[in-house]
Amino acid sequence: MRSEDEARFRDMARRQAAPMRRFAYLLCGDWHLAEDLVQNALTKLYSAWWRIRGADTLDHYVRKTVVRCWLDEVRRPWRRAEDRTGVVPDVADHDGDPAAVGQRAQTRDLVLRALAEVPSRQRAVLVLRYFEDLSVADTAAALGCSQGTVKSQSARGLDKMRAVIARSGPDFSALTGGRTES
């Protein structure tokens, strides 16, 4: 790789590493696996760097690479036997009202726990649509599926999350908009 391309790649990796890690964590729910996914994605991006052209497509290409690395990881048979439902440690938030901080942490944990129970394809759609704020068309392009599939997977994934949250008790009915599983 030429030195100017190498510098461009290093700059992209520096800028994108933290957002890629957060995105990967939302997909898999495990910080260690998220770091592995980012490392795998950066390796793949490095080997294909000569094909990546404009800055407009770069973010899309990076997200798509992380999603594909995660889906590859999920499909591995030896991963299916592993239980990843352990407790995720909270990061201390020293600002604000302690009661509000506790409520936010509880709500965040509930949403992450609910997201972890959603099937992998639906989870990918939900993360791209609602955490990465992509349009239906961009999500479909990132996952290589139709827009109708994105819409149906999104609806099913949200229903699954609502059901998990509803099972968590009446304290969280505000998160589901008062809806319960039927």
CATH number at residue 26: 1.10.1740
Percent of the chain with pLDDT over 70: 77
Residues 78 and 101 occupy one common structural domain: no
Residues 81 and 135 occupy one common structural domain: no
Residues 4 and 77 occupy one common structural domain: yes
What is the residue range of 170's domain?
95-182
Residues 101 and 53 occupy one common structural domain: no
Q: Are the C-beta atoms of residues 26 and 108 closer than 8 Å to each other? A: no
Q: Report in angstroms the alpha-carbon separations of 83 from 80, 87, 112, 116.
A: 8, 11, 16, 11
Residue where a domain terminates, one of 88, 108, 141: 88
Residues 123 and 140 occupy one common structural domain: yes
Residues 82 and 101 occupy one common structural domain: no
Evaluate if residue 124 carries a pLDDT over 80. Answer: yes
- Which of 28-32, 71-75, 98-102 shows the lowest mean pLDDT across its residues? 98-102
Segment 34-62 shows an average pLDDT of 82
Evaluate if residue 176 carries a pLDDT over 90. Answer: no
Segment 136-153 shows an average pLDDT of 94
Confidence grade of residue 173 (pLDDT, cut at 50, 70, 90): low
CATH of the domain at 126: 1.10.10.10
Q: What are phi and psi of 166, to 5 degrees?
A: -65, -35
Record the tokens describing residue 114, joined without a space: 């609910």
Confidence grade of residue 12 (pLDDT, cut at 50, 70, 90): confident
Between residues 28 and 53, which one has the greater pLDDT? Answer: 28
According to DSSP, residue 172 is labeled G
| Residue 98 CB partners (closer than 8 Å, separation 6+) | none
Residues 82 and 111 occupy one common structural domain: no
Report helix, strand or coil for 170.
Answer: helix
This prediction has a pTM of: 0.54
According to DSSP, residue 50 is labeled G
Residue where a domain terminates, one of 66, 88, 110: 88
- Which of 31-35, 60-64, 72-76, 139-143 shows the lowest mean pLDDT across its residues? 72-76
Percent of the chain with pLDDT over 90: 34
CA distance 125 to 116: 13
Residues 83 and 127 occupy one common structural domain: no
Residues 5 and 78 occupy one common structural domain: yes
Residues 39 and 1 occupy one common structural domain: yes
Residue where a domain terminates, one of 67, 88, 109: 88
Per DSSP, which regions of the chain are E strands? none
Number of domains, the chain: 2
Kindly report, residue by residue over 57-67, the tens digit of the pLDDT.
788 888 888 99
CA distance 56 to 168: 41
Residues 64 and 102 occupy one common structural domain: no
Segment 65-83 shows an average pLDDT of 75
User: What helix, strand, coil percent values describe the chain, rounded to 5?
Assistant: 75, 0, 25
Evaluate if residue 146 carries a pLDDT over 50. Answer: yes
Q: Are the C-beta atoms of residues 29 and 116 closer than 8 Å to each other? A: yes
Residues 148 and 100 occupy one common structural domain: yes
